């Protein structure tokens, strides 16, 4: 009978204990990550500990603690530390320091979507295109030999094509 009772306790309490232990580990990990957001490493290779980084900036640490206590974010930090840190940083009007292990967007390879501007050309406004077409027509009036110039014809055709595309976007 005693063995049966021990077995029942063991079967009921062990899963509860394991669940509680896992929850504590997750909470500790989230708290550590939240502190890392507030006091990030200067570089990924830096060997400085979190405590050293906090002690290096005591004014910020005091400011964060007082802000969290005055707004009640200290209570939120017990259950959702990362969210509490994000809100604290918003209130401090400080952006989290960039993670040195993450590449900047400018260094990443681009994936063009939609209508990328080929060759770095920006789309021109309709006014600009109309004025360029007028200037080209004036050049044609003053110099009729431009009608045989392939470069001129190509440029004029591109301007007219771009104007047609813009008018189709507006009407269609």
- What is d(CA 73, CA 53) in angstroms, rounded to the nearest whole number? 22
Which tens digit of pLDDT belongs to each residue from 10-36?
A: 777 778 888 888 888 888 888 888 888
- The per-residue DSSP string of 46-106 comes to ----HHHHHHH-HHHHHHHHHHHHHHTHHHHHHH-HHHHHHHHHHHHT-PPPPPTTSPPGG
- What is d(CA 99, CA 148) in angstroms, rounded to the nearest whole number? 59
Fill in the DSSP letter of residue 108: S
- What is d(CA 12, CA 18) in angstroms, rounded to the nearest whole number? 11
Which tens digit of pLDDT belongs to each residue from 50-90?
A: 888 888 888 888 888 888 888 888 888 888 888 888 888 88
Token representation of residue 102: 């993450």
Q: pTM of the predicted model, to two decimals?
A: 0.43
């Amino acid at each position: 009978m005693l063995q049966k009772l021990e077995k029942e306790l063991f079967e009921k309490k062990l899963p509860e204990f394991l669940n509680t232990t896992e929850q504590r580990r997750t909470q500790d990990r989230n708290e550590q990550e939240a502190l890392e957001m507030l006091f990030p490493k200067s570089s990924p290779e830096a060997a400085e500990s979190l405590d050293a980084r906090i002690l290096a900036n005591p004014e910020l640490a005091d400011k964060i603690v007082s802000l969290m206590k005055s707004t009640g974010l200290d209570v939120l930090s017990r259950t959702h530390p990362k969210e509490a840190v994000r809100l604290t940083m918003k209130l401090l009007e400080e952006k989290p320091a960039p993670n040195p292990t993450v590449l900047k967007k400018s260094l990443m390879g681009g994936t063009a979507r939609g209508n990328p501007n080929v060759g770095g050309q920006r789309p021109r406004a309709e006014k600009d295109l109309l004025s360029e077409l007028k200037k080209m027509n004036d050049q044609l009036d003053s110099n009729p030999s431009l009608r045989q110039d392939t470069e001129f014809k190509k440029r004029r055709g591109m301007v007219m094509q771009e104007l047609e595309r813009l008018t189709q976007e507006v009407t269609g």
